[in-house]
Amino acid sequence: MAQVKDTRKQIANNKKAYHDYFIDETYETGVVLHGTEVKSMRMGKCSIKESFIRIENGEVFVYGMHVSPYEKGNIFNKDPLRVKKLLMHRYEISKLAGKVAEKGYTLVPLQVYFKEGKVKIEIGLARGKKLYDKRADIARKDQRRETQREFKVKNL
């Protein structure tokens, strides 16, 4: 049998989400886009830094996702900050709606990528971090970096 190769070309990443939230679960969703938006994404012109996700009337939408207008798109270009619908199964949406109704849970976009020619968004079910959690993460990263530096110096 032929081995299936994972063809994922990353467009945008949300590093801040991992800093501000504990990510409990991740989901892969499709996104409804227009032609010029897809062309712009192929050029890597997408940002999800300030974006967030809401569930309204049994449908999932991403707000604040910036897709730069396509240079050669003229009248066909859409608003860069247009609200975009995400494509998920009904049971996944109802499961997420129940979790988000709980105190402290939210949905955040983690990354945007191409998978087999289609634009996908990885979203995460997240809990907010407190300030002391963020400080602990920073201290852990600093410690790891320091040990790697010492290991590098010893092996020279």
Q: What's the confidence (pLDDT) of residue 156?
A: 67
Q: Mean pLDDT across the chain, nearest whole number?
A: 82
Phi-psi label, residue 58: left if phi above 0, alpha if psi -120 to 50, beta otherwise: left
Higher-pLDDT residue of 37 and 74 is 37
pLDDT at 12 over 70: yes
pLDDT at residue 125 above 70?
Answer: yes
pTM: 0.74
pLDDT tens per residue, range 68-85 = 887 776 766 777 778 888
Q: Alpha-carbon distance 70 to 67, whole Å? A: 9
- CA angle at residue 93 from 87 to 111, to 5 degrees? 55
